[in-house]
Chain A
């Protein structure tokens, strides 16, 4: 049996089970990404509720955490969310949060972020430890 070897076309996403297995609360990370207005609106972590979100193409409704929904619908659209100073792996994490965690290949990430060559991105995502739960989908 051959080992699975990701390529620049392999799709990645945030694997939430990775967070659960490590008993880490992704919402703590997500909360740090909220803009000041959303941070105030969301309140403390214990106040956070699930909300309905509507797919812009199909109108399908899914229920997601209010913090994530705020990031997707508001904070990720603001200029400071992704900047040239944002570290590369953080940028990838933020990209997935903003796009509903739709899986993206390294090439697609490269096209969106335009920071480092696809091969470098692939190396960073596959060599060494998993960062922020970003794994092949």
Chain B
């Protein structure tokens, strides 16, 4: 993978896609299970917290212009501690990729292809993901620029198709189980936006002056998208119905009915679902391989990408069943994801400030502008 300058719109689309890919997984169900009818409110409340976390990440990227998150770790924390932090980032993304892969393929198996082995589905998604990863983030960004409008159109069709089922009263009681539970949940669920850490890998490919704004645009778009999606989902499947559906998005598309003319069109969404899954895998493989490349200070990418895919494939089959998978996802990614995506960058920033470490030329876009 050579050094490329990414298209800004494509970069935002890439980040938004990886942020909202979760809506095709059982994650809306998990949030509804924990937050009750306040699922949308919990995600709404994660906004300010994730902005705070994003401030740390973006400040770090701006302080070390032209460097990736792993390179920054090495520079700010020293070779050993920096490598440990870099490996933690990579491990987090490998785990995330494995869990997401299994969630995607388990959904396909239950809902679409009941007699296809999950390993075949996982391999199919990973092969496409690996191919796109090898092609590089620039290609992925261009692809994302097509994927996002496609997702928007299909979501619009879904909204129209199930409009008759929407009822805002289904979103009540507004605080779900309790106000305390809603507020407490909003902190760990900041992890819902943890994929924004991918920006740390894309940063060297983007114009330094626009990194902060691009990341913020993607974070806000992903955040608004997720809140609106949960509002929409909760208006059709009120609690406790949503907490009992493994794949609410799929159920929603199965209910699209516009008189007798438009029915049973979920096949369209299956394609989108598959491509979003493969795309998410491509982005995660790219992220992992880039981090390991930067930590090891080599120029190799493809061998790391292949290894990352194999590791994700292996992790995907650790849970014995769907229930264990959900449990692991909640216990790890949703509860502690924020620590990796926002906690580690803030910690690195703090150490860099204390040690007076800065980017190579000692200046940031702000100081240059000033």
The finding on whether chains A and B are genuine partners in a shared complex, rather than unrelated, reads no
Chain B residues with a Cβ under 8 A of chain A: none
Chain A residues with a Cβ under 8 A of chain B: none
